[in-house]
A and B are shown apart, each in its own frame.
Chain A
Amino acid sequence: SQTIHQWPATLVQPVGSPLSLECTVEGTSNPNLYWYRQAAGRGLQLLFYSVGIGQISSEVPQNLSASRPQDRQFILSSKKLLLSDSGFYLCTGGRSYEQYFGPGTRLTVT
């Protein structure tokens, strides 16, 4: 079965600091991978998706970036965090309609 690992679970970072969230997949190869963000009290917003190594599509303009250096690794980054970057970040992925979910990272930018 597939498993998605995501860390850290919680993170508190000051404004202007860098960010790196990592998502890794077990149990499948060449999955489609997605980063979502959920701001407090709002729905999921698709940030990035990737269909393969080095292939990243961005859904919304922002100060975040994503990379996929390996088939099962998806990284969300920022050079300088903004207060508005606070939220719940969720990595999902899979190769079929059985999509799998990471546990999420709750980011608070102070």
Chain B
Amino acid sequence: SQQGEEDPQALSIQEGENATMNCSYKTSINNLQWYRQNSGRGLVHLILIRSNEREKHSGRLRVTLDTSKKSSSLLITASRAADTASYFCATYNNNDMRFGAGTRLTVKP
């Protein structure tokens, strides 16, 4: 079955605010990845966090991973209108990769 589940399903914020999206999963993983998809286009890889890591940063992105709770969060700081997109988490385990259904983020200028 589909592995990751993101929440919220939709998030609307003002430019400059922070956006936090969460992902929960069910089985053990080797790593977890976050992707962005602009409307009608392909997925773009944002960041990967390994199962032995707890936090990772990339520019305005901050990802945390709690393997005991089987959950991850993606924080986008100082959001911009260009951050408007759908965000997906994907879990990877033993050559098998599964995506969640995504969070639709809207950043209002």
Contacts and interface: CB of A to CB of B under 8 A. Distances in A.
Interface of A: 32, 34, 36, 41-46, 51, 59, 88, 90, 92, 94-97, 99, 101-104, 106
- What's the interface size class on B, roughly? 20 to 34
B58 to A, nearest CB: 16
Contacts, number: 56
Interface SS, A side? strand
Interface SS, B side? strand
Interface of B: 1-2, 6, 9, 30-31, 33, 37, 40-43, 48, 86, 88, 90, 92, 95-104
Contacts of B95: 32, 95-96
Given A43-B9, A44-B88, A46-B2, A32 B96 contact: yes
B15 to A, nearest CB: 22
Nearest to B31: A97
Contacts of A45: 2, 101
Nearest to B103: A43
Contact of A46 (B31, B40, B98): B98
B3 to A, nearest CB: 9
B44 to A, nearest CB: 9
A46 B99 contact: yes
